[in-house]
Amino acid sequence: MNAQIETSDGLRGIAPSSRNFGRSVIFLLFNFPISVFSFVIMVTGFSLGVGLAITLIGLPILAGTLVFAKNLVKGEMSMVTWYFGIVQVTERKKEDFSQSFFTSIKSTLLDPTNWLYFAYCIFRLPIGILSLVIVITFLVLPLAFLLVPLYYSFIPGGLMVSYVNGYMIIVDTMPEALLLTGIGVILSFISYVIITYTSYFIARFALFIGGPIRKHI
């Protein structure tokens, strides 16, 4: 039976202890390009908007950047719901078309939630880099140890594992290779835990920033 968690908006998801590992890997891999894209758009839009603010042209650009940040965060909720395996709840949102253009810009710029989304899109870059480093490191390292029996014999002079006190530790026999495979099994378990919980906490943080999972139509 899968352990369950209760989200802040009443939706239920699967606890990290039973999280699908493949889904966690995909979530972390996609997190990096999305974070880079978010960072570039936010920095470009903010710099351009502030630089042109004195001409009043920059204010719509700055407001548009904040709106784009809001849509990025809301769009990320689709990936979060896919990760947790929970269902999006849809609701209709009435748009207010009575506001003038400049009133709409003013309300957008003065809304602290929009600036929270903007800051989150900036902060996503180190999160995305961390995601990429973790998922690549903890996928490649265990595999390198697990597959030693398959490739150690093709390395001239054997596989050098480490250099300790002036002595090289070289793997050039099958028993030694199988020993490293055993270490790889242990590393695989450690990698599973690290990747699973890293993806889980990143997704929960995104859910915390994005608020209740709602899809406006």
Q: Which of 44-58, 120-134, 143-157 has the lowest mean pLDDT?
A: 143-157
Q: Give the pTM.
A: 0.77
**Side chain identity, residue 194:** I
Of 79, 40, 205, 199, the closest CA to residue 131 belongs to 199
Please give the residue that has the higher pLDDT: either 111 or 165. Answer: 111
- Going from the C-alpha of 91 to that of each of 94, 133, 214, the distances in angstroms are 10, 38, 7
Rounded to an integer, the average pLDDT of 176-204 is 90
Arithmetic mean of pLDDT, 152-158: 76
Task: Give tens-digit pLDDT for 73-85.
Answer: 988 888 888 887 7
Beta-strand relationship, 89-91 and 4-6 = unpaired
> What is the predicted pLDDT for the residue at 36?
95
For the cut 70, the answer to whether the pLDDT of residue 134 exceeds it is yes
Query: Residue 26 pLDDT more than 80?
Result: yes
Mean pLDDT in residue range 142-151: 87
pLDDT tens sequence across 90-126: 454 555 555 677 788 888 888 899 999 999 999 999 9
- Give CA separation, 25 vs 20, 70, 134, 169, 201, in Å: 9, 26, 10, 33, 13
Angstrom CA distances, 132 to 4, 69, 77, 115, 116, stand at 27, 22, 20, 26, 24
Which tens digit of pLDDT belongs to each residue from 3-17? 444 444 444 445 565
Parse the chain into domains and list their residue ranges: 4-132+193-216
How far apart are the C-alpha atoms of 105 and 61, rounded to whole Å?
9
Give the model's pLDDT for residue 167: 61
